[in-house]
Structure 1
Amino acid sequence: MKTLWKALCAAAMVGMTILPVRAQEKTIEMGTLSWEDLTPITGVTKKVLEDAGYKVKVTEFSEWGIAYAALSKGDIQILASQTDYVAQDYWDKNKSRLEKISPVSHGLYQAIAVPKYMDIDSIDQLNDNADKFGGKIIGIEPGSGLMRDAANAVKTYGLKLQLVEGSTAGMTAALKSAIDRKEAIAVTLWEPSWMMQKYDVKFLKDPKGVFPPPQSYYWIGHKGFSEADPHAREVISSIYLPLADITTINAEVKDGKTMDQAVKDWLDGHADLVKRWENIKK
């Protein structure tokens, strides 16, 4: 009987030690946009935070303005973003209510690209070859940062080609069709993208500097996030995802994997690194 009583007391003590841990479990409200550069960053960071003891809720936004508004109000706590060019206006408008947590990748570049088999290397050569391109540069969704910069390039270089608005899917189909036929095509493209890996293309040089230089990605937070949860901040700050790895993850998704599976496979393949990220002490 005494043995049973001791066992029950021991179990009760274990339960008492577990309860505070569960009570202290924190939920992190994470925002993202469903773009191929941000989705792997979001997936990897979410899994590392979960393995470090956090519950992570992800909210997907359709465009920067809505995402930044939610972050500035505190509806979400963290968001991965470029703050220097692509989303600079939104960062500048809201930065008094935000904070930079840490860089998570670097190298985003957006410009006009052509197949490598074409004998053209610079934007200022486009006019001399306008007929080859059918007088068009095939673009993506209107309102994107890339299309804004491409429109500026058309104006700055005095291009005789029309920038055609459309969709990423439409541009991708046109690029594939042209390359399959070894035809000329000029498109708006970006790195990281599985297209840069799959298709033999090159960015045209930009001697007038219309397109921004390679940009960094940061985890940014609602002001006060780091002070309120320094451990979460340290875990997030430990994570860095090279641009080549983002491209690889997206290529695997294009080849048939789900994003969750591609992220899991990347994490499994970098287990030692991920373990160091997750073992930041409180």
Structure 2
Amino acid sequence: MKNIWKTVCAVAVAGMMTLSAHAEEKTITVGTMNWEDLTPITGITKKVLEDAGYTVKVVEFSEWGIAYAALTKGDVQVLASQTDYAANEYWNKNKNRLEKLSPVSHGLYQGIAVPKYVDIDSVDQLNANADKFGGKIIGIEPGSGLMKDATNVVKGYDLKLQLVEGSTAAMTAALKSAVDRKEPIAVTVWEPSWMVQKYDVKFLKDPKGIFPPPQGYYWIGHKGFSADFPHARELMASVYVPLPDITAINTEVKDGKTMDQAVKDWTDNHADLLKRWENVKN
């Protein structure tokens, strides 16, 4: 009888240890780039996780290299990223220590754009109209993936226009000034962006296909995240934020709202959708 009781106790303790070992933590550290496309995705997903009882800490980064290093080391556990092109170099370098969790949006496109009132539609028409644009394409920060791709486009089409390095703020100011005066301007820009909506620009066609095609956004995690956080992973996999919604959120921010308020307004207006996302069984 004593031996039977010892066996029962041992089984019970083992069961408790197994349950404890598989109990899911309720605190998650999320990394995000402090950019207008990724911040709304992170904020909306944070809300879904918090509604399910998780404590979510968000750490902002300004460079892909630093963000991927933090994710690889486990300083943050998940990160939203465009692994196909924009951050492909960092993904390929570290993917053996990471895992792709789920798609969360799609359609990021970077290219050369002009206001819709400008009567050209393709990159290969720029040379014939170089004088209209003052012989320049107004770019952004020199270290960005967009400028790298734009440089390749200038070479690939043998463009006679100068690709001007600068900043996003300077490019935006130049675009606004030109639109206010209904003057031609060519800029490097991306979608989703409030600029595309506010200034009514069109992307020039790229017949040679030098700019990458529309990109997807994915939640990626430190290796083992899905095993350690199975319910959180399922919740995150349910979240999908269409590109126009990201653009609309950032337009509201540009018009004076804080990002937190714009995200809250979006989640409040999509309460039924969030409930469906959150209705994931443990």
Same fold (TM over 0.5): yes
Q: Which amino acid aligns with 1:42?
A: T
In structure 1, distance between residues paired with 2:136 and 2:25: 55
In structure 2, distance between residues paired with 1:47 and 1:201: 33
In structure 2, distance between residues paired with 1:195 and 1:97: 36
Contact 1:113 1:202 in 2 (8 A): yes
Contact 2:235 2:280 in 1 (8 A): yes
1:130 partner SS? helix
In structure 2, distance between residues paired with 1:255 and 1:25: 39
Deviation of 1:106 after TM superposition, in Å, equals 0.3
In structure 2, distance between residues paired with 1:134 and 1:76: 46
2:125 aligns with 125
What RMSD, in angstroms, separates the aligned Cα atoms of the two structures?
Answer: 1.2
In structure 2, distance between residues paired with 1:270 and 1:70: 32
In structure 2, distance between residues paired with 1:122 and 1:88: 27
Contact 1:64 1:87 in 2 (8 A): yes
Q: Could you tell me the percent identity over the aligned residues?
A: 81
Contact 1:25 1:55 in 2 (8 A): no
Q: Which amino acid aligns with 1:79?
A: L
1:7-38 deviation digits (Å, cap 9, x = unpaired): xxxxxxxxxxxxx9xx9752101000110000
1:256 aligns with 256
Within a 5 Å distance, the mapping from 1:218-233 to structure 2 comes to 218-233=218-233
1:152 partner SS? helix
1:33 aligns with 33
Contact 1:109 1:212 in 2 (8 A): yes
Deviation of 1:236 after TM superposition, in Å, equals 0.4
TM score, norm. by length of structure 1: 0.91
Contact 1:52 1:279 in 2 (8 A): no
In structure 2, distance between residues paired with 1:121 and 1:281: 50
2:155 aligns with 155
Moved over 4 A (4+): none
In structure 2, distance between residues paired with 1:135 and 1:167: 19
Q: Does 1:95 align with 2:95?
A: yes
Structure 1, unpaired ranges of 5+: 1-19
* Matched residue count: 261
Contact 2:139 2:164 in 1 (8 A): yes
TM score, norm. by length of structure 2: 0.91
2:168 aligns with 168
2:117 partner SS? coil
Deviation of 1:279 after TM superposition, in Å, equals 2.6
Structure 2, unpaired ranges of 5+: 1-19
2:112 partner SS? strand
Contact 1:25 1:53 in 2 (8 A): no
